[in-house]
Amino acid sequence: MSDCVGCPNCGRAITPHRLDMRDATFADDMPLSRCAVCGFDLRHCDSEPLISYAADADQVLAKMVRKLEGEEVRWTRFEVEELAVFRHLTSLMTSRYKHDLLRQFVTDQLQVADVPLSAGHLTIEAREWNERRHLVQLAAWLLADLEHRLTKAWRAHSIRYNLLLKGLDPPPAWYRQIVEPMSNWRER
């Protein structure tokens, strides 16, 4: 069974965020479930069942999958922003800052073993499949109750306010509203 690490049709990395840079011959409304390089429908790729970390994280991921699998290609602004925050959370959990312990906080909360990450500054799309599975589950758990869980991580000194905004430019208004109270370290 294939892990579907790359597109099974053309072998290139799966990069749905690159659809805006695709060949002009593709339709403008191509769904995110298609390879950005060759257009192969990735829903036909063999897959392995995902081991669940938490039911509420499963619900977040199921909602995303339903949207990706659907023929409806129009996403609301909130859904696009939510995906951006989701990706940002995975990025935060791969950072090498000595004060960024978010991944450790989440694995401790979920009582799951951490997966060792490949060295280097890799995006989630460039990571090994097992790393991506792990990070996606951790980020989905945070997103399931973002305000409460992020605040709890911040109070536990697992993430700094400045890192919550770094690299997310501009942050969605609803996300900024969640993290803004964390700007005052005296409030912990």
pLDDT average per 10 residues of sequence, the chain (188 residues): 62 61 49 77 75 91 80 75 93 81 95 92 85 94 97 94 89 95 80
> Tokens representing 5?
């690490």
- Residue that the structure tokens 């897959």 belong to: 47
pLDDT of residue 60: 92
**Stated pTM of the model:** 0.75
- Residue that the structure tokens 């609301």 belong to: 76
Residue 184's Cβ-count burial label (10 Å; 0-12, 13-18, 19+) is exposed
Residue 188's Cβ-count burial label (10 Å; 0-12, 13-18, 19+) is exposed
Instruction: Answer whether 54's CB lies under 8 Å from 110's CB.
Output: yes
